[in-house]
Structure 1
Amino acid sequence: MLMRYSTGFCLLMSLTWMACSKSSDSTTTVGNWVHKVDFKGAARSEAVSFTINDTAFVGTGYDGTNRLKDFYSYDAERNTWTQRASLPDAAPGRNSAVAFAVGGKGYMGTGTDGVNKFNDFYEYDPASNAWTAKAPFPGTPRYGAVGFAVDGNGYIATGYDGTWLNDNYQYNPASNSWSGKADVPNSKRQDASAFVIGDSAYIVTGTSNLTTINELSRYDPKHDSWILKRAITNVSDDDYDNDYTSIAGSNCSVFVMNNKAYLATGAKPSISNVVWEYDPVTDLWDLKQPFEGTARTGAVGFAIKNRGFVTTGSSGSVQLSDTWEFNPTQDYNKND
């Protein structure tokens, strides 16, 4: 989900990187979480999020009883949530959908109501606060996919339609049309995480047949090609991955700040509060200060002006609505 989208969420010691090796002498981690105003809607998990300009939008999801179709926007400067238009009447409530934003519009599709899987697709215009049905997603109806936007187009990839998937489709908002693109390499999966840094998209981890995927892949949209990056578990003879014991998982939240990605929370396989920072320049992961809210899965992450946030999710049968902001360079302060 991008980003589950559209979505669309990995820390107990700090790591010091030197080329392709690291030492683990430090026993502290860097980063600080600050509790913000709670999400205004019903507590929920497996929602979607997308960001337009300096506003984040969060909607759909599962509240423990019902699949939802409402949406809310978050203003980080004012620390306020505002209710926005719900999905159209014809659109079922759902969880495990995907979302992304392109050209000042938000897009949401796929998901499940607990019985049916969907391939419908909708566009949100913040100027009119209205949703419009668009060309359906051409892949099989599914849930647990990922969505992302890069180079002016949107993408939906992977997911579960009764079997695990690795297909990838591009949406062109100008022509309201879809086209098949290169499949995600190696493992088919659901409940992965996707993020965009620069002109590349990344899909990381996820699950397939109860097996956690230990892979990170980078997508180059200009050449429609994928590159498999370093494994996200301890498989090499070098030292750099000695502590890679808690990156891989499912239903993690993710956001990007200052050209680094932050993978937080999720099921690993138990519910987690771990946070990892990914640097695409070095292709290495660094353990950060743990998420300070309740450990959870199915939360959403988003960034506004290089400020990263995590909200909603579930811990066991408890649905959550708290919102937290992460500063990756600030010292930990338990009192804020």
Structure 2
Amino acid sequence: MKRIKIAAMLFVVAGFMLLNACSSSSDSTTLGNWTKTTPYKGVKRSGAFSFTIGTTVYAGLGFDGDDYWSDAYSFDINNGYWQAIKPFPGKPRERAVAFAVDGKGYVGLGYNRDEDKQELGDFWVYDPTTNEWDSLGLFGGSARYNAIAFAIGSKGYVGTGYDGDNTNSDFWEFDPSTNSWKEVVSYPGEKIESGLAFVVNGKAYIGTGRDNGSYNLDFWEFVPGAEGSNPTWTKRSPGTDQSDYDKFKLAMYRHDAVAVVNGTDAYIVGGVASSGAADKAVYHFDATTFNWDTKTSFEGSARSLAIGFVLNSRIFVGTGQNGTSRYDDVWEFKPLEEYSETN
């Protein structure tokens, strides 16, 4: 009888431990699911630009390993397909920057090794209501590529990048109402090229990138100043939790990654990690807590120099390169879904 009671007790304890283990496993499940969607309409490429206006993303330019491209396309989330827009009228290029302000897209800078001056400094504006491009002349700083750009309110901002001689930290504000550039307070971190920027609630966050092959842990918050005054920069990093800090460090140690924002959540996808290899990792930044965690890795081929965009709170990443391979696939990311290997 005693043996039966002991066996029963052991069975209960084992069941309790198994239940706890299952619960713990479920609690620690890495969220995020990727599904393949409509591919990019143009040829496979890397280093393309993209900007969004309303429910539509516009993307173009880039390099396919042999040629630089001037074609551009739009994708309206309500229609679900890509269609050609008027080609970019400037020199074809890769690694340009882009941003959108007040219903128009702005594209400039970049790189074309076939030109005498490989680094480009011109800027252009695209009006989707007329399907026309217009020249804005030259950027306020030096011609360059691998810079970063973003828009806040009615202004665009461009800075950092490589100009053929130097890695830069200067920053410039563009006013579409006057089509003029004004230099503002420089990026205070280490000089970088191939970094990234994303905007949450009127604040930009700048990080990743490299200088002379070196990576750093700089991660800065940019807040525009009032009219006529300079913006402010604040260094941001996670708290003292070691796990959080380790994820932050891994997220920053990369270049040519892509960032997408949905609400107060930002996601850094792919790029070239400090190992020197293209990466599939996805890091999540919560702009309300400054916490970092990981999501399910990108399910396409590892890549850098991709495009990322958000339409109607739906997140997409596509194109890019891994070594000599270029891509035209586009994937949708659902960060709150559990991973499914069937889609």
TM-score scaled by structure 2? 0.86
Matched, 1:212 2:215: yes
Give 2:184's match in structure 1, choosing from 181, 184, 209: 181
Matched, 1:169 2:176: no
Can you list the C-alpha shifts for 1:58-112, whole angstroms capped at 9, x where unaligned? 1111111111111111122332111111111xx1100111000000000000001
Can you list the C-alpha shifts for 1:23-52, whole angstroms capped at 9, x where unaligned? 999653101111001100010001110001
Give 2:290's match in structure 1, choosing from 283, 305, 326: 283
Q: 2: CA distance between counterparts of 1:281 and 1:39?
A: 33
> Which is further off, 126-135 or 237-246?
237-246
Which residue number corresponds to residue 257 of structure 1? 262
1:36–1:79 Cα contact (<8 Å) kept: no
Aligned residues: 309
Secondary structure class of the residue paired with 2:250: coil
Task: State the AA in 1 paired with 2:97.
Answer: V
Can you list the C-alpha shifts for 1:180-233, whole angstroms capped at 9, x where unaligned? 0111112101000111111111111111100123221110102511111116xx
1:172–1:178 Cα contact (<8 Å) kept: yes
Which residue number corresponds to residue 47 of structure 1? 48
The sequence identity of aligned pairs, in percent, is 35
Larger Rg: 1 or 2? Answer: 2
Name stretches of at least 5 consecutive residues in structure 2 with no aligned partner.
Answer: 1-23
> Alpha-carbon deviation of 1:306?
1.2
Which residue number corresponds to residue 100 of structure 2? 101
Which residue number corresponds to residue 300 of structure 1? 307
TM-score scaled by structure 1? 0.88
Q: 1: CA distance between counterparts of 2:175 and 2:153?
A: 10
Q: 2: CA distance between counterparts of 1:28 and 1:209?
A: 38
Q: 1:319 to 1:239 in 2, by over 3 A?
A: closer
Which residue number corresponds to residue 151 of structure 1? 153
Q: 1:221 to 1:75 in 2, by over 3 A?
A: same
Q: 1: CA distance between counterparts of 2:25 and 2:123?
A: 46
Name stretches of at least 5 consecutive residues in structure 1 with no aligned partner.
Answer: 1-22
> Alpha-carbon deviation of 1:245?
5.0
Secondary structure class of the residue paired with 1:207: coil
CA RMSD of aligned residues (A): 1.8
> Alpha-carbon deviation of 1:260?
1.0
Q: Which has the higher contact order (CA 8 A, sep 6+)?
A: 1
Higher strand share: 1
Secondary structure class of the residue paired with 1:247: helix
Task: State the AA in 1 paired with 2:209.
Answer: G
